[in-house]
Structure 1
Amino acid sequence: MQAPDTITIALVDDHKLFRKGMVELINGFTGYHILWEANNGKELIEKFTSDKLPSIVLLDITMPEMDGYETALWLKRHHPQVKVLALSMYDHEESIIRMLKSGASGYILKDADPADLKTALTDVVRKGFYYSDLVSGTLIQNMHKENTHKELAKLNERELEFLKLVCSELTYKEIADIMCVATRTVDGYREALFEKLHIKSRTGLVLYAIKHHIISVS
């Protein structure tokens, strides 16, 4: 019987032999279970009529009928609570950036060690994102580089201070104490950032800070 806290995963890849191996690998991880398998994005979408949804979609990029980019965008629009971990043979900068912009919470190569895959799955659930060495560093600095200075200019000094603090494990009350302001003032900073940056959650603020190199990913 599946434990109630088991992390469920939908695996989307058009190579059946590879998929079979991944199913055996992931089901062998303690606390993880493959809920669905699909050959492509179109087949995956057909499964989303179910009441039980996966925690993570492990998504290949290059697939027939509906590729990973289209599928990630569909999930972002229709099921934003479901995290996407991109799975690919390619380490091209363009592919990585495009998948992250399409809504993926991380990117891992198909030849990664099993331990790295487990770490990626765990990070996506616990932190809301997974950035390996492949994605961090230069890639993170390059993401949205055409908008970075313009968007950061929208934020005042106190909002930037709050943004850095919100990327920690501190509660909003603890952040208020550090900033020497009332909790309702911190709530105001949060709502202002949500509006200015078009973000709807604390996780979104963390991802924004990482993408714009406001905080370190190390």
Structure 2
Amino acid sequence: MKQAEKIKVALADDHILLRKGLAGVVDSFGDYAVLFEADNGQHFTQQIKKHGEPDIVLMDINMPEMDGYATAQWLKQHYPLVNVIALSMYDNENAIIRMFKAGAKGYILKDSEPPELKKALDSVHKKGYYYSELVTGRLIHSINKMDDDKSEIKALNELNDREIEFLKHACTEMTYKEIAEKMHLSPRTIDGYRDTLFEKLEIKTRVGLVMYAIKNGIVTI
């Protein structure tokens, strides 16, 4: 692959050593090149205006001045074609949901091995999404196809109004206990809705429920 054809990657992380190490790993992949680096979201907005639009951004969630959530939202508004992969130290359910809703197309932990980072970059570049083990393979497959998968439509038609209401609440930052209070139901009943949806939709995590809801238009990002 010629230099001009390399996929452009931008890095946004306030930890300099980690960012420099990440830049070295990205450049070592051969078909990717680091376009620019930024210390935080505010700096990122300046850098993108100076250096141009990257294909993919590896974005830390916790940054000073302007965090990953705000920066992803800003990108979605001003540069909607730029794909964001969120970086985090923690596999935090609420953080993942917030980043998805802010427009991130992938989520990877900072302690991941280089091959997983390469896989994430390749997947986002070619397919538009990467969710690693956070979502079942079946759901990733349906997201990637983004077509009229009859089994997905059938599953959606099998959901009743209360299950759909629960699914919408599950796409927020509310805890299951708060969802129970919102729906005027017991926590045990809410757990029942969750487990039923896991079984019906063949999904194993709350993040999977969020991605199913986005894919099927129940909520929008």
TM-score, shorter chain, exceeding 0.5: yes
Consecutive unaligned residues of structure 2, counting only runs of 5 or more, are: 140-145, 153-208, 217-221
Match of residue 46 from structure 2:
46
User: How do 1:103-114 and structure 2 match up within 5 A?
Assistant: 103-114=103-114
Q: Tell me: CA distance 1:115–1:46, structure 2 relative to 1, closer, same or farther (3 Å).
A: same
Give 1:99 deviation, angstroms. 0.4
SS in 1 for 2:9: strand
Any idea what the Cα deviations from partners look like across 1:134-167, whole Å, max 9, x if unmatched?
2x14xx7xxxxxxxxxxxxxxxxxxxx95228x9
Q: State the superposition RMSD in angstroms.
A: 2.7
User: How do 1:198-209 and structure 2 match up within 5 A?
Assistant: none
Give 1:51 deviation, angstroms. 6.4
Letter in 2 for 1:30: G
SS in 1 for 2:75: helix
Letter in 1 for 2:114: P
CA distance in 1, matches of 2:90, 2:212: 21
Any idea what the Cα deviations from partners look like across 1:28-73, whole Å, max 9, x if unmatched?
0020111100000000001222463110010000010000000000
Q: Tell me: CA distance 1:128–1:209, structure 2 relative to 1, closer, same or farther (3 Å).
A: farther
CA distance in 2, matches of 1:60, 1:90: 11
Residues 1:163 and 2:148 aligned together: yes
Match of residue 212 from structure 2:
211
Letter in 2 for 1:121: L
CA distance in 1, matches of 2:59, 2:147: 34
Give 1:2 deviation, angstroms. 5.9
User: How do 1:15-164 and structure 2 match up within 5 A?
Assistant: 15-50=15-50, 52-134=52-134, 136-137=135-136, 163-164=148-149
Contact 1:163 1:209 in 2 (8 A): no
CA distance in 1, matches of 2:27, 2:51: 21
CA distance in 1, matches of 2:210, 2:60: 26
Letter in 1 for 2:43: E
CA distance in 2, matches of 1:77, 1:45: 12
Residues 1:7 and 2:1 aligned together: no
Q: Tell me: CA distance 1:77–1:111, structure 2 relative to 1, closer, same or farther (3 Å).
A: same
CA distance in 1, matches of 2:147, 2:2: 40
Any idea what the Cα deviations from partners look like across 1:96-138, whole Å, max 9, x if unmatched?
011011000000000001000000001001000101112x14x
Match of residue 170 from structure 1:
none
CA distance in 1, matches of 2:37, 2:131: 24
Letter in 2 for 1:98: R
Contact 1:85 1:107 in 2 (8 A): yes
CA distance in 2, matches of 1:130, 1:117: 10
Contact 1:61 1:86 in 2 (8 A): yes
CA distance in 2, matches of 1:163, 1:47: 39
Contact 1:85 1:105 in 2 (8 A): yes
Q: Tell me: CA distance 1:75–1:162, structure 2 relative to 1, closer, same or farther (3 Å).
A: closer
CA distance in 1, matches of 2:22, 2:70: 22
Give 1:211 deviation, angstroms. 2.5
Q: Tell me: CA distance 1:61–1:162, structure 2 relative to 1, closer, same or farther (3 Å).
A: closer
Give 1:25 deviation, angstroms. 0.8
Normalised to the residue count of structure 2, the TM-score between the two structures is: 0.63
CA distance in 2, matches of 1:164, 1:51: 40
From the two aligned structures, give the one with the greater helix fraction. Answer: 2
Structure 1 vs Structure 2: percent identity of aligned residues? 48
